[in-house]
Amino acid sequence: MPIESTVDEGSSWITDYFQTTPIMSTYLLAFVIADFRSREKDDNGFRIRIWAQPDMYDQTSYALEFASKTYRFFADYFGRPEIVPKADHVAVPDFSAGAMENWGLVLYREIALLHDEEVSSISNKYWVSLIQAHEIAHTWFGNMVTMEWWDDLWLNEGFANTLMYFALDDIYPNWKVFDLQVVGNVFPVMTKDSLLTSHPISAPINHPDDITQYFDSISYDKGMAVLRLLRGFLGWDDFRRGLQNYVNKYIFSNAKMKDLWKTFEEAVDQKHEVAEIMDTWTRQMGFPVVTVKKIGKNKYRLDQSRFLLNPEDKYDKNSSPYQNTYTVHKTITVPRGIHTQSTKQSPSQQEYIHSPQNSHRPNKNTYTVHKTVTVQTATIHAPDGSWILGNIDYMGFYRTNYDEDMWRRLADQLHRDHTVFPTANRAGLISDAFNLARQWDATDWWHAAEVASNLGDSGKVSLLWQLQKFSAAKSITKRD
């Protein structure tokens, strides 16, 4: 908090009295005593300062301007400004963590905060922006509202990882950060979560010594990925309304995961049982592969099963409260002209058609079919001979597999006009194909090679690089 008054005590001693902090969790308290230099800005009474060693002062300008824009973005997004009237961001030499969101006094490693526009790379600018946006997002998710106990650590970190991309997309719309999010965060954590050594996002923590091991990519990146899934399911407006309701309801207090789901259900007027849907993603490890297989002239069956890099890994389905079945809001894109049939369907097998609500490049020549699959199998209908693309914009946390004929149709479409598919889906086709090929099916390797070689000039990748990258799977999935 800012200094309220200073008293000269004599004998070279002075006493500073600070304003009283808002109610806050004790882990958010910090002190810094250093001979640093600061660059500051007053933003309508909200003081922002960036601190660094004196010889690094020239590298603080970017962080100050970005922080100002980011605080304004989140204040508008949540409809609630920062409560603490000042924000000090400090570049600390040899800081053990990457950064720490102490309320009003955010600490960083020097490389995570400082940027020189004349010398530093664009990748450094992107990295510094992500980290600073992540820490500022904690002001609302973590500081104003804190998880009740560490088994819901992901409520802090998963949301900060989610919200940092919202801020970057607003400040740098040309960066296409939601596509980078898929490649940089979603794909890597899918690799970790496809091993038996993974753990649920929300896991019981019975002893303080167990806390630190959950500060990992599952809490950060899978937490972010399932929130991305939820945003894709609810839409931008209802997702934002749910977050606003959550912060307004639990400000200056603690909340559990069930409290979050309840505020989302209220935000959508109980139209969706959010807790029932999301518990299948947060209370069990892993994720599914959804297989699209033709079973009739215009009919396709969707089957889900747990995806494991090593298909021979053994696990007990009964160890999970949901038997490793996930509520999949499957988005299937097909060429315009798709039709549905009037069939008796259970509430868990709803089918409907509309344009992609979250696509950054809606394509006028395609429709999207949404299928909610809470059972092992469901069906969709599509014109005979058309291609089908699953998981539009890669909003869902699952892989999609197709029969051999459909893989060839998708590769052919990529060859003719790859821009029909959103960028995230082009990346997703490569990721899905190569990871399915890790299971050592020669046909899958052919599919992977065919997809990678048909991306067009603007999206080509080195097939050799892909093969080298995924050859590491031998050490993970080698069969005896």
What is the C-alpha separation between 11 and 35, in angstroms, rounded? 22
Question: What separation in angstroms does the CA of 134 have from each of 155, 169, 380?
Answer: 13, 13, 39
Contact status, residue 405 vs residue 294, Cβ threshold 8 Å: yes
- Choose among 116, 117, 70: nearest CA to 89: 70
- With H, G, I as helix, E, B as strand and everything else as coil, classify residue 16: strand
Question: What separation in angstroms does the CA of 464 have from each of 449, 468, 473?
Answer: 10, 6, 15
82, 101, 135, 351: the catalytic one is: 135
What is the C-alpha separation between 417 and 439, in angstroms, rounded? 29
Bridge partners for 330 per DSSP: 371
Contact status, residue 51 vs residue 36, Cβ threshold 8 Å: yes
- Choose among 104, 127, 112: nearest CA to 20: 104
Amino acid at 402: Y
418 labelled ligand-binding: no
101 labelled ligand-binding: no
What is the C-alpha separation between 434 and 467, in angstroms, rounded? 8
Contact status, residue 236 vs residue 358, Cβ threshold 8 Å: yes
Place of tokens 């092992």: 376
| Residues 6 or more apart whose Cβ sits within 8 Å of residue 474 | none
Q: What is the dihedral of CA 65, 224, 24, 237, to 10 degrees?
A: 80
CA 309 to mean position of chain CA atoms: 21
Specify the DSSP class assigned to residue 376.
S
Q: Is 266 designated active site?
A: no
Binding residues for Zn(2+): 134, 138, 157
Which residues are annotated as catalytic? 135
Known binding-site positions: 134, 138, 157
